[in-house]
């Protein structure tokens, strides 16, 4: 009775890789189903509140914050 260890090793390799592939495929399918259920029954609320700050004033605040951060960084 002669056993070819290389062939047995290849069989076990494909068995293990197949099991991992099936597990990962099942996990992806289940995650997609869970995502669908969450989005279906718990949708994200729509942002309907308008900002009272004008866009150009908002940009000035951002530029001022960046300038202050750079100045603070250069001081050490």
Cite the DSSP H helix spans in the chain.
5-41, 55-75
Six-digit token string for 17: 């890789």
pLDDT tens for the chain, residues 1 to 76: 567 999 999 999 999 999 999 999 999 999 999 999 999 999 888 876 666 656 677 888 899 999 999 999 999 7
Query: pTM for this structure?
Result: 0.53
**Residue 18, pLDDT score:** 98
């Amino acid at each position: 009775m002669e056993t070819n260890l290389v062939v047995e090793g290849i069989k076990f390799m494909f068995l293990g890789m197949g099991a991992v592939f099936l597990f990962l495929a099942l996990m992806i399918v289940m995650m997609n189903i869970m995502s669908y259920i969450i989005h279906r029954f718990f949708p994200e609320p729509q942002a309907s509140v308008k900002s009272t700050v004008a866009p150009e004033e908002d940009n000035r605040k951002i530029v001022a914050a960046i300038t202050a951060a750079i100045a603070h960084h250069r001081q050490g």
